[in-house]
Structure 1
């Protein structure tokens, strides 16, 4: 069965939760015998020519540089390419690209949409963008052959829009890190000058809804010398917000190593005192699951997707509350004992099991 995947920027090592989701999921599906083609955005990929990634074909396509046109224009072209490739299923990721569901249906394609989150709730979007995102969600609910939901809240939302739609609730997953001796840190990590278990770690794109500005403010209110703060990531596109965040971080003394993956990311997780995810909007955050895979103490905002993971209630703070987040950081530093999350993750968030569930959805379309 030929599956063509659209809606993402690409794989591997491309920043973003959807990109990480696809990077881990599709090699498992390729091993199960599916013919997987991932259509990515040329400017985000390591090669401009078609290449193989763990048994999957990655096909770069050009896209407009304007951020307002990038996703829709690329998805339109990618779906047309899927038709040329004679796809059995076109798998659209996210509700923005899902506005092209009707285009795929016009071309006679079977369409599956994975709904990763209510993106219209993101702070960065204006009225037009929010309208487009809501329209994409409605298109997925009404015109796709099926929807994969990564959370209970998303499942309920699709059923509100179309009670007859087939919704398959399949969560994000995580790769459990090997419990082996690691290599020495790279030059990039070594130059940060970090001390083992003496820093708080956060990870994500530099956009308002990640609330890293709130985290910096809360960390700055800790007693001097409590710990370092490391926030790994970068903006997708330079913006006034990302510039202001970097300026705030520099003034406060937070460490911003940029986008990290692979061994560097592994090192930052392994040696952190704890992990913080202060977002106002998420789907089912892979970054949180990754932190759990290292049995890190976690402090998370009390938004519904975070609550759905069912951490201990003491892990949550009132979203956007700087004083409450500061208190939680102090509590974390005073009680560095690691929780044990790996059994839960292996049972519920294993990529192999998630791939098997996804394969069943493909075969049932």
Structure 2
């Protein structure tokens, strides 16, 4: 008999917005191929139903919500949880602790939950005091009402153990091994600097913009990403691209092949993320065989080990570290090969998907055993 799983908390399937959506694009078809009945909840207009890679076995359910920066996650999470509670799948996979507010509804319906807690959202500079409070409270509720937690980095697990006293299972993100792809028109292999990030301060975007102003005098600089809401950082990148002929701002890229090509041929990929756990972009860059210069954080150290160059958040040191790799082709090759080998050993989708399925099976089986026990007790009382 097929087990059913509801995936709640992303923009839908298939969607290309961020790390959660990437994980669902890999996990949902995998579970379907293993015999699961998979339903992914999403938002209107966010899922690409005409995507040729879409697995028709995966059900997509669109629910309503308020499309604002502060309320979209909470409101879409609530409507998805209400629908799932009515349909009662065997298990639910929840993404994002903001949905912790709705976990009691699933518990009341006897639906076990596996929650990917993501990063430490209440540490992110992009949120105001109220939003940080909302995330911190959601995290406390997740620790209180979630059945099993997923941490995508060991450092995240240590933080949750310290703050909330709860353990969980470590499941990182995966990277896809990609074939050799052509170089983007106008660029050369190992001849340009690349940054891929959402435009928020904790991704070191302001510092990279300042460094790029210097680096673009010597090498092409390619910037991929946006804030999603406009704002000051987008204006700064736009101004830089207008002033510096060697700077290209490509905005958000949903085409995996194009993004993989940019990573595959970059001379340096600068990764400035600081408050998440295992970052999907970093793992995929490693899988593409990219020389990496990363901001020195506990999370980035955990992922890249000694396969990349780590640098403090200092513009002059960033310029120095990136330049050192750009001028040394042997160093580029050594870093690229080491990163690819590490990704193949520790960060593959086969590994990630298998761990998710194992965790979901344990929850569903445990819930099924409890349900059978309750039915037997009820039958014995009625006899």
Please say whether Structure 1 and Structure 2 have the same fold, judged by a TM-score greater than 0.5.
yes
User: Deviation digits for residues 265-320 of structure 1, max 9, x if unmatched?
Assistant: 1221222112111123222111111111122110000111101114328600002x
316, 326, 330: which one aligns with 1:333:
326
- How many angstroms does 1:100 deviate by? 2.1
User: Deviation digits for residues 67-114 of structure 1, max 9, x if unmatched?
Assistant: 221110100000011122221112110122233222322343211111
Task: Output the CA distance in 2 between the equivalents of 1:269 and 1:244.
Answer: 23
What is the aligned partner in structure 2 of residue 221 from structure 1? 214
Q: Do structure 1's residue 233 and structure 2's residue 233 form an aligned pair? A: no
256, 259, 282: which one aligns with 1:262:
256
CA contact (8 A) 2:264 2:288 kept: yes
What SS class does the counterpart of residue 284 from structure 2 fall into? helix
Task: Output the CA distance in 2 between the equivalents of 1:72 and 1:282.
Answer: 20
CA contact (8 A) 2:96 2:116 kept: yes
Q: For the aligned residues, what is the CA RMSD?
A: 2.2
**Runs of at least 5 residues in structure 1 that lack an aligned partner in the other structure:** none
Task: Output the CA distance in 2 between the equivalents of 1:141 and 1:276.
Answer: 34
Q: Do structure 1's residue 352 and structure 2's residue 350 form an aligned pair? A: yes
User: Deviation digits for residues 315-341 of structure 1, max 9, x if unmatched?
Assistant: 00002x101100011101122332323
Task: Output the CA distance in 2 between the equivalents of 1:240 and 1:257.
Answer: 17
> Equivalences for 1:77-116 in 2 at 5 Å?
77-116=79-118
Give TM-score scaled by structure 1 length: 0.89
User: Deviation digits for residues 169-199 of structure 1, max 9, x if unmatched?
Assistant: 1111111112x4x3x57xxx53xx3233221
What is the aligned partner in structure 2 of residue 21 from structure 1? 23
**Runs of at least 5 residues in structure 2 that lack an aligned partner in the other structure:** 364-383
Max Rg structure: 2
Q: Do structure 1's residue 312 and structure 2's residue 296 form an aligned pair? A: no
**Greater mean deviation of Cα atoms: 73-82 or 264-273:** 264-273
Task: Output the CA distance in 1 between the equivalents of 2:79 and 2:25.
Answer: 21
- How many angstroms does 1:52 deviate by? 5.7
User: Deviation digits for residues 27-72 of structure 1, max 9, x if unmatched?
Assistant: 2222221111110111322359xx9636322222222122221110
298, 317, 323: which one aligns with 1:324:
317
Q: 1:203 to 1:222 in 2, by over 3 A?
A: closer
What is the aligned partner in structure 2 of residue 172 from structure 1? 173
Q: 1:152 to 1:54 in 2, by over 3 A?
A: farther
Q: Kindly tell me the number of residue pairs found equivalent between the two proteins.
A: 352
What SS class does the counterpart of residue 65 from structure 2 fall into? coil
186, 202, 206: which one aligns with 2:195:
202
What is the aligned partner in structure 1 of residue 238 from structure 2? 246
What is the aligned partner in structure 1 of residue 380 from structure 2? none
Task: Output the CA distance in 2 between the equivalents of 1:270 and 1:211.
Answer: 22
Task: Output the CA distance in 1 between the equivalents of 2:20 and 2:269.
Answer: 20
What SS class does the counterpart of residue 221 from structure 1 fall into? helix
3, 8, 11: which one aligns with 1:9:
11
**Greater mean deviation of Cα atoms: 64-73 or 22-31:** 22-31
**Greater mean deviation of Cα atoms: 266-275 or 126-135:** 266-275
CA contact (8 A) 1:99 1:132 kept: no
Task: Output the CA distance in 1 between the equivalents of 2:17 and 2:5.
Answer: 23
User: Deviation digits for residues 332-365 of structure 1, max 9, x if unmatched?
Assistant: 1122332323332222111112211111111211
Task: Output the CA distance in 1 between the equivalents of 2:91 and 2:261.
Answer: 38
Structure that is richer in helix per residue: 2
Give TM-score scaled by structure 2 length: 0.85
- How many angstroms does 1:136 deviate by? 1.3
